[in-house]
């Protein structure tokens, strides 16, 4: 009864020593520990700094919502095809369950969010991949949504901006995933031939089929610092060529050195830089000389 509530808790027989991991862990949410420099900081402050570590400038993963908020003008985003979802064309066991779980977890319906919005008042069509949903892998829905966003850009005659984050093709949709590479590239070509501007920003990670299609097809190919970007996986390459790869292999900085990128831009400068690129590509393209 009441007495039970006040009974002293049993004395512990053994002293408990917090494990190494428990010692370092901080309650989730309030504080965040940087996985790179291991320093701890307030989550709120970190988010305000676009999730870039104050100490080592490590770029923490951003989900699609955080990305849109950080990049577009407030309340300018209008989502399209929000409720498109995957089927199970290969009848892969557990696939539907896995999708449902991720929908529950991420509150988005697929690994890409698409729509229109403005950057400093300049209208764009945008696609933001989300690595928290099935590792951002590309199946039929990701391919179709990106294609429709490109078509939207073409229809509105506005630039198309894509943030990529993907582990590659989605295994569970087999060859259909592979074909999404062609689908999106074919759509980009039509848009490009109509004079459309394409800006690709590769974020961590951009690999496999995504890297070998729309991610590499921008008029401007940009990347965030430290992002992993490449076609084949590091382990596969090491096994194939039987030698160890350099530490910085397939990082954004490595690719910049190899001539594969226009620029590596810190997240905190991204919006301004892209806004400047957009302003150089005014719609219509006829500039008139103006005397100041």
Partner 1 sequence: MAGELEFERPVMELKKKIAELKEFTKTADVDLSSEIEKLEARLEKLEVDIYENMKPWDRVQIARHPARPTTLDYITYLFEDFFECHGDRAFGDDEAIVGGIAKFKGIPVTVIGHQRGKDTKENIRRNFGMPHPEGYRKALRLMKQADKFRRPIICFIDTKGAYPGKAAEERGQSEAIAKNLFEMASLRVPVICIVIGEGGSGGALALGVGNHIHMLENSTYSVISPEGAAAILWKDATQAKKAAESMRITAPDLKELGVVDLIIEEVKGGAHKDVKAQAAEIEEVLTHSLKDLMDLTEDQLIDHRYNKFKSIGEYSFLKEFIGVK
> Binding site for Zn(2+): residue ranges?
34, 37, 53, 56
Other CB atoms within 10 A of residue 150 CB: 28
Regarding 92 and contact with partner 1 (CB under 8 A), the answer is: yes
CB of 241 to partner 1, least distance (A): 5
Residue 129 φ then ψ, to 5°: -80, 150
Regarding 140 and contact with partner 1 (CB under 8 A), the answer is: yes
Which range binds partner 1 by CB under 8 A, 12-20, 154-162, 238-246, 270-278? 238-246
Tokens 């066991």 belong to residue: 93
Question: Can you tell me which of 46, 185, 266, 275 binds partner 1, judged by CB under 8 A?
Answer: 185
Q: Which two tokens stand for residue 20?
A: 């190494």
DSSP structural state of residue 196: -
CA distance 134 to 127: 17
Question: Can you tell me which of 122, 132, 147, 203 binds partner 1, judged by CB under 8 A?
Answer: 147
CA distance 209 to 222: 18
| CA-closest candidate to residue 111, choices 73, 67, 160 | 67
**Which of 36, 79 has the CB closer to partner 1?**
79
CB of 154 to partner 1, least distance (A): 12
Regarding 241 and contact with partner 1 (CB under 8 A), the answer is: yes
Q: Give me the count of residues in the chain.
A: 292
Question: Can you tell me which of 240, 280, 284, 287 binds partner 1, judged by CB under 8 A?
Answer: 240
Per-residue string for binding with partner 1, 52-71, x by CB under 8 A?
Answer: ------------xx--x---
CB of 36 to partner 1, least distance (A): 23
| Size of the residue set binding partner 1 (CB under 8 A) | 71
Per-residue string for binding with partner 1, 204-223, x by CB under 8 A?
Answer: ----xx-xxxxxxx------
Positive or negative torsion for Cα 155, 156, 159, 165: negative
| CA-closest candidate to residue 167, choices 139, 131, 200 | 131
Per-residue string for binding with partner 1, 187-206, x by CB under 8 A?
Answer: xxxx-xx-------------
Regarding 47 and contact with partner 1 (CB under 8 A), the answer is: no
Taking each helix axis from N to C end, the angle separating 140-156 and 174-193, rounded to the nearest 10 degrees, works out to 10
Site for partner 1 in 97-136 (CB under 8 A): 103, 107-109, 113
Tokens 């590509």 belong to residue: 281
- 125 and 152 Cβ atoms separated by less than 8 Å: yes
Cβ-in-10-Å burial (0-12, 13-18, 19+) of 57 comes to middle
Regarding 144 and contact with partner 1 (CB under 8 A), the answer is: yes
**Which of 21, 240 has the CB closer to partner 1?**
240
Question: Can you tell me which of 117, 143, 159, 205 binds partner 1, judged by CB under 8 A?
Answer: 143
**Which of 32, 207 has the CB closer to partner 1?**
207
């Amino acid at each position: 009864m009441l007495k039970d509530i006040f009974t002293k808790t049993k004395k512990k027989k053994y002293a408990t020593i917090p494990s190494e991991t428990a010692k370092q862990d901080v309650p989730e949410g309030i504080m965040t520990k940087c996985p790179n420099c291991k320093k701890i900081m307030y989550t709120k402050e970190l988010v305000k700094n676009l999730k870039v570590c104050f100490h080592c400038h490590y770029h923490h993963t951003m989900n699609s919502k955080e990305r849109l908020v950080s990049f577009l003008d407030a309340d300018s985003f209008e989502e399209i095809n929000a409720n498109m979802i995957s089927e199970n064309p290969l009848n892969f066991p557990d696939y539907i369950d896995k999708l449902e779980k991720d929908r529950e977890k991420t509150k988005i319906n697929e690994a890409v969010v698409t729509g229109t919005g403005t950057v400093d008042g300049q209208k764009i069509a945008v696609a933001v991949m989300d690595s928290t949903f099935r590792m951002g892998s590309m199946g039929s829905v990701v391919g179709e949504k990106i294609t429709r966003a490109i078509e939207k850009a073409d229809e509105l005659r506005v630039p198309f901006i894509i943030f990529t984050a993907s582990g590659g093709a989605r295994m569970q949709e087999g060859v259909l995933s592979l074909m999404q590479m062609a689908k999106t590239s074919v759509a980009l070509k039509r848009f490009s031939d109509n004079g459309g501007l394409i800006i690709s920003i590769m974020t961590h990670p951009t690999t496999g089929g995504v890297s070998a299609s729309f991610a590499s097809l921008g008029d401007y190919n940009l990347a965030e610092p430290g992002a992993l970007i490449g076609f084949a996986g590091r382990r596969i390459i090491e096994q194939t060529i039987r030698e160890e790869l350099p530490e910085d292999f397939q990082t954004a900085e490595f690719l910049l050195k190899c001539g594969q990128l226009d620029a590596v831009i810190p997240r905190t400068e991204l919006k301004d830089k892209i806004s400047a690129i957009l302003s150089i590509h005014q719609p219509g393209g006829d500039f008139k000389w103006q005397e100041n």
